[in-house]
Amino acid sequence: MSMFSIFLILIIIVSFLLVLVIMVQNPKGGGLSSSFGGSGSQVVGGVQKTGDFLDKSTWTLATLLIILILVSNVTIKSGNGTADSRLLDGNQIENTTPATDNTVPVQAQDSTQQ
């Protein structure tokens, strides 16, 4: 398994966790909801501590995702030189034009035209 594959798996896992953490968070109000008079975001009990944890974990996962993406880009560039495509290798490209039928249809000659 190549380093890029490992980073790709880590990026998928961190992305999934980031989506989960964002979906668990309560809306903090503001934006359009506050302009219509909705002030339903009251802090009850220990919800503020949970909000701080979710906020910190969101920023941590987002930062980790950006770092993983940048590092995976470096692993692509510094690969062992084997590419999946000849276009990436720079080797001579064979004729890639689609084959066409170069025959011209023969029209029936008019026998009266001589």
Report residue 96 CA to chain centroid gap: 29
pTM score, two decimals? 0.53
The radius of gyration of the chain from alpha carbons, rounded to an integer in Å, stands at 30
pLDDT attached to residue 76:
83
pLDDT attached to residue 33:
45
pLDDT tens for 20-53 read 998 888 776 554 444 555 555 555 555 567 778 8
| Cα→Cα distances 100→11, 25, 94, 96, 105, Å | 45, 59, 16, 12, 14
pLDDT attached to residue 15:
96
pLDDT attached to residue 10:
95
Which DSSP letter does residue 25 get?
Answer: S
pLDDT tens for 52-104 read 888 899 999 999 999 999 999 988 865 555 555 556 656 555 555 666 666 66
Residues with Cβ within 8 Å of 29's Cβ and at least 6 positions away in sequence, in order, are 38, 39, 40, 41
pLDDT attached to residue 32:
47
Number of CB atoms found within 10 A of residue 7's CB: 19
pLDDT attached to residue 75:
86
pLDDT tens for 3-17 read 889 999 999 999 999
